[in-house]
Amino acid sequence: MMAEMGAAYRKEEGGIYSWMNNSVGPRFAFIGTFMWFSSYIIWMVSTSAKVWVPFSTFLYGSDMTQHWRIAGLEPTQVVGLLAVAWMILVTVVASKGINKIARITAVGGIAVMCLNLVLLLVSITILLLNGGHFAQDINFLASPNPGYQSGLAMLSFVVFAIFAYGGIEAVGGLVDKTENPEKNFAKGIVFAAIVISIGYSLAIFLWGVSTNWQQVLSNGSVNLGNITYVLMKSLGVMLGNALHLSPEASLSLGVWFARITGLSMFLAYTGAFAIHR
């Protein structure tokens, strides 16, 4: 749909608003675009608390936000206050211009992209050193997660699959700057969708090389906010074990995997906040 709309309105600069304006009129175009931009506010509010997880991981090597207590406040309250402070700080910085901060956060964005390459190369290395053995047995019919045993629960995973394409709609505003957009824009969107699909599926499969559900992810302290850093720490530990390092050295390697990931994600979040502001 995006490819078709982009090709049809290849000279428009307004992106989604222009598409909807020409399709359903300015009223619904305004409502739709307003809701789209409002979703950024919701995202920033929800992420302002989550941004402290990678920061904590960078400092301590693991998520310690569940143990932060200040002046008798519970960890949830502390993180909430930090989230408010973060929103204020980002607003002040963004109002003064983001050129300087953009240079720093660009490094985080590149590092986050490189994490996928790290996952691929390290997983292949572990697989070869372990003689093709997976930490999690391969089963395409049943999930190791007890919460995903029913068909309805499995269907809920579609939400995560769709979210993998989140943000791709933003390129609609660049269609007028694309050479031969009626062909190239459509091809680019389709190519991006294919890459995302393959990459998403491959990444899920590769995590089974270094992570066992019962040993790593069944812990009650693991959640959607810190699972990335738990997985990266497990990846580092398994690499150390595959290289026959000492338990202490393997654990240290895993901690540094988590810390580098935390720093990368923190810088990437900072850049995303500055841009959305």
Tens of pLDDT, residue by residue over 80-116, are 999 999 888 888 877 776 666 666 667 777 877 888 8
Q: How many domains does the chain have?
A: 1
Look at residue 152 in the predicted model and tell me its pLDDT: 75
Output the pLDDT for position 84.
92
Instruction: Say if 69 falls within a structural domain.
Output: no
Assigned domain for 71 exists? no
Residue 72 domain-assigned (yes or no)? no
Residue 167 within a domain: yes
Most confident range (mean pLDDT) of 126-135, 181-190, 266-275 is 126-135
Which position has the token pair 């294919």? 194
Residue 26 lies in a domain: yes
pLDDT, greater one: 96 or 62: 62
Give the residue-averaged pLDDT of 123-145.
87
List pLDDT tens digits, range 16-35.
777 777 778 888 888 888 88
Within-domain flag for 104: yes
Residue 80 lies inside a defined structural domain of this protein: no
Position with higher pLDDT, 164 vs 241: 241
pLDDT tier at 4 (50, 70, 90 boundaries)? low
> Residue 31 is part of which domain span?
2-64+98-276
Average pLDDT, the chain: 82
> In this predicted structure, which of 55-59, 101-105, 148-152, 216-220 has the lowest mean pLDDT?
101-105
Q: Which residue has the tokens 């964005």?
A: 109
The pLDDT of 116-128, averaged and rounded, is 92
Distance from C-alpha of 256 to C-alpha of 277, rounded to nearest angstrom: 31
Query: Residue 85 domain-assigned?
Result: no
Q: What is the pLDDT of residue 236?
A: 94
Instruction: With a cut of 80, say whether residue 256 has pLDDT above it.
Output: yes
Task: Tell which wins on pLDDT, 111 or 229.
Answer: 229
The pLDDT score that the predictor gives to residue 174 is: 65
Residue 129 pLDDT level (bands cut at 50, 70, 90): very high
